[in-house]
Amino acid sequence: ADNGTSGFAVFNGNPANGNWQLFIVDDLAGDTGTVQGWSLAISTDPLPTNSLSVANTASIAIPTVGTATPYPATINVANAQGTISGMSVTLKGLSHTFSADLDIMLVSPSGAHAMLMSDVGAGSDFSNTDITFSMDALASMGPAANASGTYLPTHPNIGDSMPAPAPVDNGV
């Protein structure tokens, strides 16, 4: 199982330009939620390192069960120089009444992908929570992770099935 230690490494060395996709699925019935927007912060090489931040402020609706609307949410990155050397993803205003139901995957323009979170937080709620996933974070999300903060991508169980057009989860 990937506890987040590899996470964003799948993106390193790839170009940043193009459409990034965020796939969100609620995999068990009974709870709904929203994300009030999301953003990418990307660092690129070669030196001098370039940094850019791009956001999508549109709301994402999470249904009782199934795929969020829109599915996927997208951000277009343009004019990035070099290749990715570091990144983070922030979910703004995440609200959901049973966090373990959520599977959230990031897919790059090249098709590289990483599960940001899946099967975490037990039955805890997210209430207007800002969560940043970063390769520089100090900890993964825990069994009761519902606080705003910065975390490693956290995916304790590989093999989550997400509907197309999301790629097949390969455990990273």
**Could you tell me the two tokens for 144?**
């009761």
φ/ψ of residue 121, rounded to 5? 85, 5
Tens of pLDDT along 44-102? Answer: 988 667 889 999 999 999 999 999 999 999 999 998 888 999 999 999 999 998 888 89
Q: Which residue has the higher pLDDT, 41 or 172?
A: 41
pLDDT of residue 170: 59
pLDDT of residue 119: 80
What are the DSSP calls for the chain, one per residue? -B-SSSGGGGGTTSB--EEEEEEEEE-STT--EEE-EEEEEEEEESSSPEEEEEEE-S-EEE-SSEE-BSSSEEEEE-S--SEEEEEEEEEEEEEES-GGGEEEEEE-TTS-EEEEEES-STT--EEEEEEEEETT-S-B--TT--SSEEEB-BBSS------TTSPPP---
Tens of pLDDT along 134-156? Answer: 988 888 887 766 688 999 888 76
AA letter at 24 = I
Q: What's the pTM?
A: 0.90
pLDDT of residue 1: 38
Confidence of residue 5 (pLDDT cuts 50, 70, 90): very low
